[in-house]
Amino acid sequence: MPLATIYSFIGMLIMINTVLALVTIFRKPRSISSILAWFMFLVFLPGIGFLGYLFLGRGLDRTTVRRFEEENKYNLSILGQRVHENNQKFAPKEMAPHEKLLKRYFNNMERTPLCRGNSVNFYLDGKEKFTALFEDIKNAKDNIHVEYYAFFSDKIGTLFRDHLISKAKEGVEVRVVYDPWGGKTKRDFFKPLEEAGGKVTAFITSRNALMKTRLNYHLHRKIVVIDGQIGWTGGFNVGDQYIYNSKKFGFWRDTHGRIVGTAAFGLQETFIRDWNVSVKNPKDKLERKDNYFVVPEDSGNIDIQIVTNGPESDNKTLRTGFIKMIMDAEDYIWIQSPYLIPDDPMITALVAAANSGVDVKIMIPDMPDHPFIFRATQYYANYLHKHGVQIYNYTNGFIHSKTLVMDGKLGVFGTTNQDIRSYELNFEVSAFCYDEGVAKEMKRTFEVDLEKSTLLTDKALAQQSLWLKIKQNFSRLLSPIL
């Protein structure tokens, strides 16, 4: 075959691959950065790129989206009325105009009311967190609802399961939603719990993920609700590495909160919705019964909004809420996140705040748990440092905490990382606390962590090798699809 014919054939294949790549990536609305990343992936990896897109690039399947739409039609007016009645017991706190707007935005977008009269206790150490959580489980009288991204079948995972088995045998209603991809946990692990009377389901996006060719959507929430009035959420998953100092990570620094009050209703409603869309048999769906939403006799005086976000919607509610906080900060905005891969609007907000004289601090790990993502995090840390944001690398183990604290008035904790995956691909939940006491406590905690961190400086940046910078830039190119 003449060489010219071979070249023509190769050129035709390249043209066909390019056209198919353009058609493929424009089938779904997405950001320009995501379009460019996927275009590079598809063009420079012909065949392999399309296979990767098949499993990682497409949106949620229609059946899953339809299930969420049906569940979201549920009328929450009765639940909202119960929260409103409880709110009347507490004198309204004075809120700044931007706090009122943030509260209203969340309520309009996610139907999440501001809940007054809550208490919050923070747990930064895995041993303390699970000790307290297991004590709550032991004291449960009516129902226990559990939802975790990673539920490992190791020592602490087995202990957690066995506590649930004991309560199920006592007649307590036990329900568990888990993501099999998070902890690589097999369904057989939960069989003893089901035999004891508990019920377990894999989250809908994890079921038949290979057959549906959707591997990129994960249940990243961590929720426990006990007796309809005690709620737990934060960064800790269920596994030994989060409790016992592992050889790889050492001390695991995270933030988890125990909420008592009507804010637990938001966590309960999230669990019920996730359970109902995931169960195969319609008879297993949960109704919004009174015993799932119980106003405690004594709690506290903290105002909280529970806010969720997921790929079933294009709203990016949590990301937008964070941006509003950053842009409205007058004194400081301090952030902790294990992964720092912000999109363009978030980068713009952070740089604008820093250039306006706001004290912007971001704390990230000094070691990787996912090497590729770690290099992308380093790239964005370097970029933000050059534009006035203070970047701190936590050196006392691995920091997995997902928090924001602003101006001593507003503190946020939950499961949401500052990365595109949390903004667009994961199912997340965060608690927004409009309370000076919470904000001051979170600020003090951040200051303690600063003592165990190193500040990124121009000198440290100049000492990074050329090879390291190449890896950082390459990781950054594909960061919109990580």
**Which positions are annotated as active-site residues?**
220, 222, 227, 400, 402, 407
Tally of CA atoms within 13 A in the half-sphere of 375 that contains its CB: 18
Residue in 326, 364, 334 with CA at minimum distance from that of residue 447: 334
* Radius of gyration, CA atoms only, the chain: 23
- 443/343 Cα distance (integer angstroms): 25
* CA angle, residues 257, 369, 211, in degrees to nearest 5: 90
78/62 Cα distance (integer angstroms)? 30
What are the residues whose beta carbons fall under 8 Å from the beta carbon of 276, sequence distance 6 or more?
71, 285, 286
Structure tokens, 456: 């990124």
Q: How far apart are CA 426 and CA 421, in angstroms?
A: 6
The span from the CA of 418 to the CA of 402, in Å, is 8
> Do the Cβ atoms of 333 and 452 come closer than 8 Å?
no
CB-CB contact of 312 with 68 (8 Å)? yes
